[in-house]
Amino acid sequence: MAYKSTHTFVNLPVKDLDRTKEFFSSIGFEFNPQFSDEKAACLVINDNTFVQLLTESYFQTFISKPVADAASAAAGIIALSADSREQVDELADKALTAGGKQSKEPADHGFMYVRSFEDLDGHLWEIAFFDPSAYSQT
């Protein structure tokens, strides 16, 4: 039987936890206070997906490597789905207004529409709407 996880937890280091919380709150995300304190904030993506935003010093306690500087090097992209093209634009525009930076030009593939941004620490995020009815395999 294949392994299937029921929940997803992503952990990211951040330089300024209060600014980071303000950034994601202004986009429209909420935090779970039960798993948040002065060293960490639990960003709720949905009922089964969470991003634990950890101060760099606290993040360092979980690893034996140096903390990467996401502003100068990419280690991954966090991709989230949206319910519509309009929701993609809404979230991406809010991220840019809140101080994020556009990381790539919007991509419209017909069946999929994607906008990308960097958060305040340089972590890469994508918001995508996928319309399976517009997808055709050729």
83 occurs within a structural domain: yes
Same domain, 54 and 90: no
Residue 125's alpha-carbon distances to 34, 62, 72, in angstroms, are 25, 23, 15
The pTM (predicted TM-score) of the whole model is 0.88
Q: How many Å apart are CA 112 and CA 84, to the nearest integer? A: 10
Same domain, 126 and 84: yes
68 occurs within a structural domain: no
CA atoms within 13 A on the CB side of 124: 13
Report the CATH number that the domain containing residue 124 is assigned in CATH.
3.10.180.10
Same domain, 89 and 51: no
4-19 pLDDT tens trace: 889 999 999 999 999 9
Return the closest-CA partner of residue 25 out of 109, 120, 111, 108: 120
42 occurs within a structural domain: yes
Same domain, 82 and 109: yes
67 occurs within a structural domain: no
Could you give the number of structural domains in the chain? 2
Question: Helix 17-27 and helix 85-97: axis angle, to 10°?
Answer: 150
49 occurs within a structural domain: yes
The angle subtended at Cα 13 by Cα 9 and Cα 17, nearest 5°, is 100
15 occurs within a structural domain: yes
66-105 pLDDT tens trace: 999 999 998 899 999 999 999 999 999 999 999 999 999 9
Same domain, 33 and 85: no
Domain residues for 88?
Answer: 76-138
